[in-house]
Amino acid sequence: MVDHLLHDLDEAQVRAVTSPARPLAILAPAGSGKTRVLTRRIAWRVATGDADASHVLALTFTRRAAGELAGRLRGLGLRGGVATGTFHAVAYAQLRAHWAGQGRAAPALLTRKAKLLSPLLAGGGGPLTVATLAGEIEWAKARLVGPDGYPEAAGAARRRTPVPAARVAELYAAYEEAKRKARMVDFDDLLRLCGHLVETDEAFAAAQRWRFQHLFVDEFQDVNPLQLRLLDAWRGPGYDLCVVGDPHQAIYGWNGADAGFLDGFRRLYPPAEVIALDGNYRSTPQILDAAADVLRRAEVGDRPLRATREGGPAVSLAAHADEAAEAAAIARAVRDRRGPRAPWSAQAVLVRTHAQVPYVTAALRRAAVPHRVRGGSAVLDDRRVRDALDLLRRSDGPLAAVLPDVDALVAEADDEAAADALAAVAQLAHDHLRLDPAAPAAGFVAWLTSTVGDEGVDERRDAVTVATFHAAKGLEWPVVHLAGLEDGLVPIAHARTAAQRREEARLLYVAMTRAEDELCCTWAAERRVGDRPVERRLTPWLAGLAGRPAAGDPADAPPGPPPDWRRHLADQRAALAEAAPGPSPALAALHDWREAHARAARVEPAALVDDRLLAAIAERRPATPDELAAVPGMGPQLAARVGDGLLAALHPADGR
């Protein structure tokens, strides 16, 4: 009955999914299936009766990652029940419930520290900027360091600030005081307050620990002491905790995270078991070799990645005259790789800093390449979505009561883009309710629009992703373009200590290991820094690639076989078709559609339409929506969601 949860896992993965150990840590490199194992383990434990879905909490660090987890769990058939969220979202939901239960008004949430910090610096912060001060306060709070302890802690961590640490501590204290007077709490306070409440209020603790008895954490290398304290409070004396992570992908040290908690898991949580996975299922050996070479050169580590995939094109490296020429070349390369079987969403352009994003998007726009910036606000810009959110904002009732109205809007939407965007909002509302069944409608809107941007909302449109290295963590694309691979950006100029530089190397490693089939690296020989052009050098960590013949434009690529990605994919498919008994053309078309659609929606293909149903559709070849809805296993809801796409794939000549 549960075989389908294990049949496509390797031996170590099966052990990780089925191990009775708790607590359990799964330590493994990029692309080895950690997130797959985490979600399968949840599904497996629920399916075998070892855990009740409604008592499971899957935690991660960004809302985008939480959305990804929720999507994969839905794909495994865990539609309701399992709660997913960020530490912040869960803490906030619990606090709100507590405040409401006590009849107390919730303090306002301070979403931008700058609001309180700017007036503090107005009297002359000297060289200290609001952003730097906010960063220092966040770092201190993540490390459980108050204003009094700041100078010592900052000294020990060799934090460099443009003013003496004692002055930062003064401003930090003034910020806390201003916040208290305004009856506000910031994001870090949510974690601290929730942790404190669980530690000191037995009834509250018992209620939360009963609600979430089985805790799972993805990307555990990024946990900070503040989050760890909350996690420890939540788990209480029980030890049903499973974490997965990769110390080589720790990229939030600057923000207070500490991968030592993952490395030291066995010591922290005796009697923990630690399982390692070693296969890589995401990337070609060429990509893995190049990524491992970066870690070696930066002296981060020398861990082999066992490739399981066949070889693909070589990792390319091209130099360009300046950032504009680089961006234009990337836009051309993106266009070149687009094909009937390669949707835009199969590609991503990743950059180290937000400042590089506008060059890339401008070039993509000029080349008429649809794209989305991760963390951008495209969906919230959609008029119909704004209208729907207005409706919710004005409602003074609970979210649960107005949710059917949102679902109805999805059904009534007059075009596909609006339906997709509204469906994404509805999905987020359902996820939100699972964490906080009593959430007010207006509160959901505030949470959606002000506190977290719209990461994860705009996932369904076929578009190239543009994102920073940080925002790309945990994700994957067949083709990845990395821009600006120059000393000064990679590693970033302000990374001075050896530890900071190693973190930068891990960040490059994260970026490179996002690629499945093809990795294209570029840099600019000159770039504007401030208002003057500065000569640049290639990052020392890619020296291994530079040994090969240099490439200027992709047009004058180095000798050797061109990295013809489309042909490569076609060859792979042909090889697959040869290995397996040949699928019918109808089934192949349905598979292609499902793959493209699933990738665009970032769900597992089987989550969209499972294999058995796909085969049944291929066999019956329905011609109308009614015939399609009549295929056993289809049902009207699924038909409404994916029917048009399936019929178009089955009958391409109809021009539906």
Q: Of these partners, Mg ion, ligand ATP, none, which one is at the site of residue 151 (CB under 5 to 8 Å by kind)?
A: none
Using the rule CB under 6 A, give the single segment among 29-37, 200-208, 462-470, 581-589 that binds ligand ATP. 29-37
Tell me how far apart the alpha carbons of residues 347 and 329 are, in angstroms, rounded to a whole number. Answer: 15
Q: Which three-class secondary structure state does DSSP give residue 563?
A: coil
Q: Which three-class secondary structure state does DSSP give residue 284?
A: coil
Q: Does 456 bind ligand ATP (CB under 6 A)?
A: no
Using the rule CB under 6 A, give the single segment among 27-35, 353-361, 383-391, 644-652 that binds ligand ATP. 27-35
For ligand ATP, give the closer residue by CB, 301 or 558.
301
Q: At its nearest, how many Å lie between ligand ATP and the CB of residue 176? A: 36
DSSP 370-419: -EEETT--HHHHSHHHHHHHHHHHH--SBHHHHHHHHHHHHHH-SSHHHH
Residue pair 381/415 in contact (Cβ under 8 Å)? The answer is: no
For Mg ion, give the closer residue by CB, 154 or 510.
510
- DSSP state for residue 538 in the 8-state scheme: B
Q: Does 33 bind ligand ATP (CB under 6 A)?
A: yes
Alpha-carbon torsion, ordered 321, 323, 326, 331, to 10 deg = -150
Using the rule CB under 5 A, give the single segment among 269-277, 284-292, 468-476, 505-513 that binds Mg ion. 468-476
For ligand ATP, give the closer residue by CB, 187 or 477.
477
Q: Which three-class secondary structure state does DSSP give residue 108?
A: strand
Residues contacting Mg ion: total by CB under 5 A: 3
**Cβ within 8 Å of residue 587, ≥6 positions away:** 614, 615, 618
Sites for Mg ion among residues 34-93 (CB under 5 A): 34-35
For ligand ATP, give the closer residue by CB, 204 or 261.
261
DSSP 258-283: -THHHHTHHHHSSS-EEEE--EE-SS
Task: State CA 364 to chain mean position distance.
Answer: 23
- Per-position x/- string for 2-41, each x denoting binding to Mg ion as judged by CB under 5 A, each - no binding: --------------------------------xx------
Token readout for 275 is 């399982």
CA atoms within 13 A on the CB side of 73: 30
With CA atoms as reference, report the closest residue to 600 among 477, 453, 481, 472.
477
For Mg ion, give the closer residue by CB, 276 or 550.
276
What is the longest distance spanned by two Cα atoms in the chain?
75
Which residue's Cβ lies closest to ligand ATP? Answer: 33
Tell me how far apart the alpha carbons of residues 95 and 99 are, in angstroms, rounded to a whole number. Answer: 6
Q: Does 8 bind ligand ATP (CB under 6 A)?
A: yes
Binding residue (CB under 6 A) for ligand ATP from 31, 247, 312, 375: 31
Q: At its nearest, how many Å lie between Mg ion and the CB of residue 34? A: 5
Q: Which three-class secondary structure state does DSSP give residue 229?
A: helix
Binding residue (CB under 6 A) for ligand ATP from 136, 246, 293, 455: 246
Q: Does 283 bind Mg ion (CB under 5 A)?
A: no
Which residue's Cβ lies closest to Mg ion? Answer: 35
Tell me how far apart the alpha carbons of residues 369 and 335 are, in angstroms, rounded to a whole number. Answer: 7
Binding residue (CB under 6 A) for ligand ATP from 5, 12, 17, 30: 30
DSSP 291-312: HHHHHHHTTS-----EE-SPP-
For ligand ATP, give the closer residue by CB, 468 or 513.
513
Q: Does 474 bind Mg ion (CB under 5 A)?
A: yes
Q: Does 10 bind ligand ATP (CB under 6 A)?
A: yes
Residue pair 46/76 in contact (Cβ under 8 Å)? The answer is: no
Q: Does 517 bind ligand ATP (CB under 6 A)?
A: no
- Per-position x/- string for 174-213, each x denoting binding to Mg ion as judged by CB under 5 A, each - no binding: ----------------------------------------
Q: At its nearest, how many Å lie between ligand ATP and the CB of residue 583? A: 19
Q: Does 35 bind ligand ATP (CB under 6 A)?
A: yes
Token readout for 147 is 């204003």
Residue pair 406/422 in contact (Cβ under 8 Å)? The answer is: yes
Q: At its nearest, how many Å lie between ligand ATP and the CB of residue 607? A: 11
Token readout for 472 is 């790309």
Beta bridge partners of 654: none
Q: Of these partners, Mg ion, ligand ATP, none, which one is at the site of residue 412 (CB under 5 to 8 Å by kind)?
A: none
Token readout for 189 is 């306070």
Tell me how far apart the alpha carbons of residues 628 and 47 are, in angstroms, rounded to a whole number. Answer: 30
Tell me how far apart the alpha carbons of residues 624 and 515 are, in angstroms, rounded to a whole number. Answer: 39
Using the rule CB under 5 A, give the single segment among 387-395, 438-446, 470-478, 486-494 that binds Mg ion. 470-478
Residue pair 39/73 in contact (Cβ under 8 Å)? The answer is: yes
Q: Of these partners, ligand ATP, Mg ion, none, which one is at the site of residue 39 (CB under 5 to 8 Å by kind)?
A: none
Q: Of these partners, ligand ATP, Mg ion, none, which one is at the site of residue 227 (CB under 5 to 8 Å by kind)?
A: none
For ligand ATP, give the closer residue by CB, 28 or 329.
28
Sites for ligand ATP among residues 276-305 (CB under 6 A): 281-282
**Cβ within 8 Å of residue 602, ≥6 positions away:** 68, 71, 459, 475
For ligand ATP, give the closer residue by CB, 175 or 252.
252
Tell me how far apart the alpha carbons of residues 141 and 161 are, in angstroms, rounded to a whole number. Answer: 16
For Mg ion, give the closer residue by CB, 35 or 513.
35
Tell me how far apart the alpha carbons of residues 622 and 644 are, in angstroms, rounded to a whole number. Answer: 12
For ligand ATP, give the closer residue by CB, 94 or 345.
345
Binding residue (CB under 6 A) for ligand ATP from 313, 474, 491, 622: 474
For ligand ATP, give the closer residue by CB, 8 or 148.
8
The sign of the CA dihedral 6, 7, 9, 10 is positive
Q: At its nearest, how many Å lie between Mg ion and the CB of residue 166? A: 41
- Per-position x/- string for 91-110, each x denoting binding to ligand ATP as judged by CB under 6 A, each - no binding: --------------------
Token readout for 262 is 């993952």
Q: At its nearest, how many Å lie between ligand ATP and the CB of residue 248? A: 9
Binding residue (CB under 6 A) for ligand ATP from 25, 27, 34, 536: 34
Residues that bind ligand ATP (CB under 6 A): 8-10, 13, 28, 30-36, 246, 249, 281-282, 474, 476, 513
Contacts to Mg ion by CB under 5 A: 34-35, 474
